[in-house]
Amino acid sequence: MDRVLEDQCHSIFIYQVRIKKIMQNDIEILQFFPKSICSIMLPEMVCDFWQEEISNIKFYKDVGDDNPHWKSAINTLEDYSEMKELFLTVAKDCLKELGYDQKIIMTTSWLTAVKPKANPNSISHHHANSWYSCVYYFQNGCSDIVFTNYNQREIEVTPTKSTIHNSVECSISPQKHQFIMFPSYMFHKISENTSNESRHSLAFNIMPTGIVGEGDSMFVYR
């Protein structure tokens, strides 16, 4: 090989190695418009209350013959005013962390029970007519809550590893005392209950109240 050409090839190789090292160290991934999920552990007394109270609550079979979900009345927390106010306070604190100082109301609230070893056949769904949705767990990880990303992708490329940047599904394995709040438009489902006991959780939806928006987008929620 010509000496000059050989030196040029060597220089190109050294340059490529250096560029590769620089890129590995300096690549930054910027996330625009992330979907934020709030999580906080609540005091022991909240868990103790619901574990004792669960036997006094009537559950109804959810829609679908193959659905092992059982739910309480759709306004369960209306009978527990102190607990309702506690959960609303937690939701308000979460909203403040997201940059909202907004008055809210609880529109619906219910408890869910999933039988042990049952395949929930849970269909991914979202909560319509709601701003944020909240779930409280008073048992250790019985069933994951699985969030599904239905955003359209123009080109489907199989990733070499699954990350938060390319995953279609992301899940949370809930812990005892854990409170989770997420945008109601996010699609989610419940995984199989692999424990030997029924899985219970408490959920509710919230909406803003008062004046929201500005100009021709302003609206008053009452």
CATH of 36-221, one of 3.30.310.50, 2.60.120.620, 3.10.20.600, 3.40.50.300: 2.60.120.620
Question: 111 near 57, Cβ under 8 Å?
Answer: yes
Half-sphere exposure of 125 (CA within 13 A, CB side): 10
Span of 6-20, 164-178, 185-199, 206-220 with lowest mean pLDDT: 6-20
> Is the pTM value of this prediction over 0.85?
no
- Amino acid identity of residue 53, one-letter, is E
The pLDDT tens digits of the residues spanning 25-62 come to 677 888 888 889 999 999 999 988 998 888 888 888 76
Half-sphere exposure of 17 (CA within 13 A, CB side): 6
Highest mean pLDDT among 94-98, 118-122, 165-169, 172-176: 94-98
The pLDDT tens digits of the residues spanning 178-202 come to 999 999 999 999 888 877 888 889 9
According to the model, what pLDDT value does residue 204 have? 97
